[in-house]
Structure 1
Amino acid sequence: MQKRLLALPLVAGAAALALTGCATGSASGSASSDGTIRVVASTNVYGSLVQAIGGDHVSVTSVLDDPSQDPHSFESSARTQLAVSKADLLIENGGGYDDFMTTLADASNTKADTINVVELSGLDKGGDAEFNEHVFYDYPTMVKLVDDVATRLGDLDGSEKSTFEANAKTLTGKLDDLESQTAALKQQYDGDKVAYTEPVPGYLFDAIGLDNVTPEKFSEAIEEGDDVPPAALNETLRLFSGKTVKLLAYNEQTSSPETEQVKKAADEAGVPVVGVTETLPKGEDYVSWQQQNIDAVKAALAK
């Protein structure tokens, strides 16, 4: 599904170019002097995974890394442009989620390779079905990404190849554990009905076998920033008044009068509300963040 999310007004080209000659002290600016591999990721979700694999041998810039920021209103800066221009590796979500990465790369004339995670996932089969681009909630895809990142880092710094491979193996083990937990939950909750304001946790729900019954016209309108059709809103509200669903997943980084109305309906009906995000909360890495998501969903389903 194409999102309005992450539109990117680029900084003036002259300002960006001026900074490339004099900026120091940023994650990318210092990387060339200490020999680390410079990686720019569209969000700190991917930045966290790269850091876990590369350790002290990588310098990671995450374009979106503020958990209090509404991703829909993101604006770039000259510093971001500079980081991209100096990067050795770029990581984008793809699928229309973060097209700003392509814009930044084109503007900077970078020669860095780019990992497009949606393409790597193989989940987008095309056709008429709407595609959920939030692939960072799909653990098998993250396992593929970890393997790809380790390989590319090893190509960029062959002397640390074994380190990257060992770190990737450890991280993959943790991702496999997350996947095992969702498989166990599926044994108990397969087919249970749930709802969300946006399809952010869709792949997590799929792994647990949960049946999303949110009216498509509601979640699509919220995701695109459009007005919700009154009929779709009323249909969504009835999910809670009739206690049709076991939980509501609520995107904490975006809100609208309609999502607030839905959240209120869930609260009043006693339907658990599980907050979800599109970037890492402060102080969390990818694995701890997803563990919190699994725990929250598990607790909600058990009520």
Structure 2
Amino acid sequence: MKVADVVRVVRTLECSSLHAGHGRRPQMGRSLCSLLVAAAVTSHATVALATPAVIKAIGVENEYADVIIQIGAPYVQVTAIETDPNTDPHTFEVNPKIAGEIAAADLVVKNGVGYDAWADKIIAAVPNGKRKVLDVQHLLGLPDSTPNPHFWYDPKTMPAVAKQITADLSAPDPTQASYFQANAKKFDASLKPWLAAIAAFKAHHPGSPMAVTEPVADYMLAAAGIDIQTPYSMQAAIMNGTDPSPQDVMKQNALFTDRKVKVFVYNQQVTDTLTQSFLALAKKNGIPVVGVYETMPTPGFTYQSWMAAEVNSLNKAVTGKISTEVLHAGK
């Protein structure tokens, strides 16, 4: 990329609309955005001078990065960007280092539906004809109006993602295709215990009523036959950082005080005074709590073990009234 092109990208990029999450729009000043793009372009130009020894891939969310690693290692150098299970991914803030990593990547896997829209701006600002971008929303054929962006909890998502990752990694060097394909088969096979656990839960506890804070795990809960009692309008309000209606709050409170639900599924990464009041009310009324996450808990988890641990926690909550507010590897 020529210097004149760098200047043109920085001057024309519309940074004011860059945001970090589904329905949440923290603003970024033009000067900072220009710095990010300039850093990205510089990194891109530097990397272009040399051929990397391995494919450089990025999983914007660490659960996607984990799948890339399982399929591509050791021939793929993988970077996960959103990794901290103790922070709200909706308020993620990009920096020049991350912009440079995206600019230099051969493959970027991102979620879509506005969940990681900041990455779209960086990708658009630094064109790279060799870079492949796997947008999970588009891979699944879902519209921009899709209300729930937490696709990784849907049992149908990761097999499709793994298949496309395999194809994208194989394209630069077809001689490695058989290796990636073999790993993809292993990955698909490794999902079977999780899928079996979901099926067993559905068979043994059909229609179990539960409350949630957000639709984080809703895809998996639906697959397990769980009856989510929390109004979706309230789930969406909490997810998007807006105030739920008083009527929805009253209904949620009644789920706990009247003991209408067996479990409270609580998003550990997005908490505020309202969700904490729900948590306290659930505990007061003896309703077990299961914590769920938007990024894969680390260290010690793979995507498969994380999902299996969530189902196991639900099963312990329903059968033994045991809470698992925080996941720990190996438990």
TM-score (ref. length: structure 2): 0.82
Partner of 2:118: 100
Aligned partner (choices 33, 52, 62) of residue 12 of structure 1: 33
1:294 corresponds to:
311
Secondary structure of 1:267 counterpart: helix
1:91 counterpart = 2:109: yes
1:81 alignment partner, one of 92, 99, 116: 99
Is 1:208 equivalent to 2:224 in the alignment? yes
Unaligned residue ranges in structure 2 (runs of 5+): 1-20, 321-331
How far 1:101 moved relative to its partner? 1.7
Q: Find the counterpart in structure 2 of residue 132 from structure 1.
A: 148
Looking at structure 2, the residues matched to 8 and 100 of structure 1 have their Cα atoms a distance apart, in angstroms, of 11
CA distance in 1, matches of 2:282, 2:89: 25
- Residue aligning to 1:51: 69
Larger radius of gyration: 2
The CA distance in 1 between the partners of 2:214 and 2:79, in whole Å, is 27
Pair 1:18–1:273, CA change in 2 (3 A): closer
For residues 22 and 195 of structure 1, do their structure 2 counterparts lie closer, same or farther at Cα, with a shift above 3 Å needed? closer
Equivalence for 1:40: 58
Going from structure 1 to structure 2, the CA distance change for 1:203 and 1:227 (only over 3 Å counts) comes to same
Q: Distance in 2 between matches of 1:96 and 1:163?
A: 33
- Larger mean CA deviation between 62-71 and 4-13 belongs to 4-13
User: How far apart, CA to CA, are the structure 1 residues paired with 2:43 and 2:272?
Assistant: 42
Residues of 1 paired with 2:27 and 2:196: CA distance? Answer: 37
Cα pair distance change 1:114/1:6, threshold 3 Å: farther
Count matched residues: 296
Query: Cα offset for 1:231?
Result: 1.8
Percent identical residues: 29
- Alpha-carbon distance in structure 2 between the residues aligned to 1:170 and 1:62: 22
Comparing 107-116 with 187-196, greater Cα deviation is found at 107-116
Matching residue of 2:140: 121
Native 8 Å contact 2:169 2:180 kept in 1: yes
Aligned partners of 1:247 and 1:300 also within 8 Å: yes
Of 104-113 and 37-46, the range deviating more from structure 2: 104-113
Residue-by-residue CA offset, 1:181-219 (whole Å, 9 max, x unaligned): 101111111211111100000111011100111022321
Instruction: Select the residue among 22, 26, 35 that pairs with 1:3.
Output: 22
Verify: 1:258 aligned to 2:274, yes or no. Answer: yes
